């Protein structure tokens, strides 16, 4: 109940004092990316397919007489695939001191500060066995419900170069069911930026914890975890490394809960109109049935290596050649659905 009161108070107290405006400022942006993906699974026939990624976003923003900026957005995406939309954005309230409050579908403060690690810029993908729980993202345990708020401090919070975020959310009030539900979360994250010689160094870290509800057997632990990463930019060269560790679930009563860890590293180099990306990611997970201690069982693993070359053909137009290789195992047994994939295509952004 405390979470609901906190969220409601934040929404009413911030939006309620805003000046009423007749119209807001709207800006549009988006991209059209299309190309061909070539897949070579470890077992089975090679295949190829056209890949589309089409997005159209509208950003809305206005400033009150007191200087507070209120913004929101919505997006139409993948029109070629039959049309879909992402209209669950909330409001962002930017204050004159540089801090910001996101209300409704705010997000998770831990995931807001995970370091971006370079990898292929292409749209290639490799399918692995669905029961393989090994993650490859740093924020795999960073979940939140739409009923939440996230507060972002101004720059130089407590120390020069430090910025932090804090978030909390609650469940939708629905009764328990066989499908495991996120019943709330709290999280904290931070990013610290400094210089070392000719390099700009960024350190990001976060911690998240979630509460669940499900009928019958309950998870042995609440879902959550931590991540930390570092990125160094020296001229046109970017080098980044990140690690994560935590507990997660498969999402239903009969599925698994698991402990997992991830290591990611990548390099990006820009020379003229060319951008080179190289990245690796290694994830491992030990999964068990719901209610177990998640300490036994055989290990799932996933090792990903990727690279790409991007060429700026014209303003807003980029040609992309990408490659990804995935080596995975499920319950200690090699996965025959892994393999490699190539991608060649172009992206037009506006």
Q: Identify the pLDDT of residue 77.
A: 60
Q: Identify the pLDDT of residue 297.
A: 61
DSSP string, 186-197: EEEEEEEEEEET
Q: Identify the pLDDT of residue 253.
A: 47
Output the CA torsion sign for 101, 107, 108, 114. negative
Give 91's strand partners: 103
DSSP string, 187-234: EEEEEEEEEETTEEEEEEEEEEEEEEE-SSSPPSS--EEEEEEEEEEE
DSSP string, 64-115: -TTS-EEEEEEEEE-GGGT-EEE----EEEE-TTS-EEEESS---TTGGGPP
Q: Identify the pLDDT of residue 108.
A: 92
- Output the six-digit token pair for 204: 């990001």
Cα angle: 44, vertex 46, 49; to 5 degrees = 130
- Residues 167/151, Cβ–Cβ less than 8 Å: yes
Query: Which domains occur in the chain, in start order?
Result: 2-349 (2.40.160.10)
Smallest CA-to-CA distance from 256 within 145, 142, 131 is with 131
Q: Identify the pLDDT of residue 349.
A: 95
Q: Identify the pLDDT of residue 5.
A: 46
Q: Identify the pLDDT of residue 19.
A: 46
pLDDT tens over the chain, length 350 residues: 455 444 444 444 545 444 454 688 999 999 999 999 999 998 888 999 999 888 888 899 999 999 999 999 888 765 455 555 555 678 999 999 999 999 998 889 999 999 999 999 999 988 887 778 888 998 888 788 889 999 999 999 999 999 999 999 998 888 887 777 788 899 999 999 999 999 999 999 999 998 887 777 777 777 889 999 999 999 999 999 999 998 877 655 445 677 889 999 999 999 999 999 999 999 998 877 776 655 556 788 999 999 999 999 999 999 999 999 999 988 888 888 889 999 999 999 99
- Single pTM value for the model: 0.83
- Residues 343/37, Cβ–Cβ less than 8 Å: yes
Q: Identify the pLDDT of residue 139.
A: 86
């Amino acid at each position: 109940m405390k979470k609901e009161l906190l969220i409601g108070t934040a929404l009413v107290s911030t939006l309620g004092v805003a000046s009423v405006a007749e119209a807001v400022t709207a800006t549009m942006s988006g991209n059209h990316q299309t190309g061909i993906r070539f897949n070579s699974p470890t077992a089975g026939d090679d295949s190829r397919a056209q890949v589309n990624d089409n997005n159209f976003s509208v950003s809305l923003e206005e400033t009150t007489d007191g200087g507070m900026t209120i913004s929101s957005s919505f997006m139409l995406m993948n029109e070629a695939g039959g049309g879909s939309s992402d209209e669950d954005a909330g409001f962002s309230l930017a204050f004159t001191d540089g801090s910001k409050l996101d209300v409704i579908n705010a997000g998770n403060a831990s995931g807001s500060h995970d370091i971006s690690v370079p990898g292929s810029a292409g749209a290639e993908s490799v399918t692995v066995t669905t029961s393989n729980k090994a993650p490859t993202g740093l924020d795999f345990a960073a979940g939140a419900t739409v009923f939440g708020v996230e507060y972002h401090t101004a720059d130089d919070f407590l120390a020069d170069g430090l910025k932090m975020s804090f978030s909390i959310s609650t469940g939708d009030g629905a009764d328990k069911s066989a499908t495991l539900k996120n019943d709330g979360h709290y999280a904290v994250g931070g990013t610290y930026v400094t210089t070392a010689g000719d390099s700009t160094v960024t350190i990001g870290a976060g911690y998240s914890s979630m509460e669940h509800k499900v009928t019958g057997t309950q998870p042995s632990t609440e879902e959550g975890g931590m991540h930390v990463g570092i990125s160094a930019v020296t001229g046109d060269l970017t080098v980044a490394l990140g690690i994560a560790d935590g507990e997660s679930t498969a999402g239903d009563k009969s599925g698994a809960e698991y402990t997992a860890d991830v290591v990611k590293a990548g390099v990006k180099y820009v020379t003229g109109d060319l951008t080179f990306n190289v990245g690796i990611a290694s994830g491992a997970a030990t999964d068990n049935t719901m209610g177990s201690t998640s300490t036994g069982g055989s290990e799932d693993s996933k090792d990903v290596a990727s690279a790409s070359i991007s060429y700026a053909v014209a303003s807003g137009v980029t040609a992309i050649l990408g490659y990804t290789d995935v080596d995975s195992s499920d319950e200690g047994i090699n996965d025959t659905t892994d393999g490699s994939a190539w991608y060649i295509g172009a992206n037009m952004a506006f």
